[in-house]
Homo-oligomer: A and B are copies of this chain.
Amino acid sequence: MTFSEENYLKSIYSLQKDSPKGVSTTILAQYLESKPASVTEMIKKLDEKGLVLYQPYQGVLLNKNGELVALKVIRKHRLWETFLAKKLDFSWDEIHDVAEQLEHIKSDKLIKELDRFLGFPTHDPHGDPIPDEQGNVIKVEKKQVSQLIPGETGTCVGVNDTSSSFLQFLDQQNIKLGAVIEIVHLQDFDKSMTVRIDGRELLLSQIATENIYVKL
Residues of A within 8 A of B (CB): 84, 87-90, 94, 97-98, 101-102, 105-107, 109-110, 113-114, 117
Contacts and interface: CB of A to CB of B under 8 A. Distances in A.
Contacts of A89: 113
A105 B102 contact: yes
A131 B129 CA distance: 38
The A interface, classified by DSSP as helix, strand, loop or mixed, is helix
Contacts of A114: 88
Contacts of A97: 107
Given A87-B117, A89-B113, A114-B88, A101 B107 contact: yes
Nearest to A101: B105
A113 B90 contact: yes
Given A90-B113, A94-B109, A98-B109, 17 more contacts: A84-B110, A87-B117, A88-B110, A88-B113, A88-B114, A88-B117, A89-B113, A90-B109, A97-B107, A98-B105, A98-B107, A98-B110, A101-B105, A101-B106, A101-B107, A102-B102, A102-B105
A113 B90 CA distance: 9
Contacts of A110: 84, 88, 98
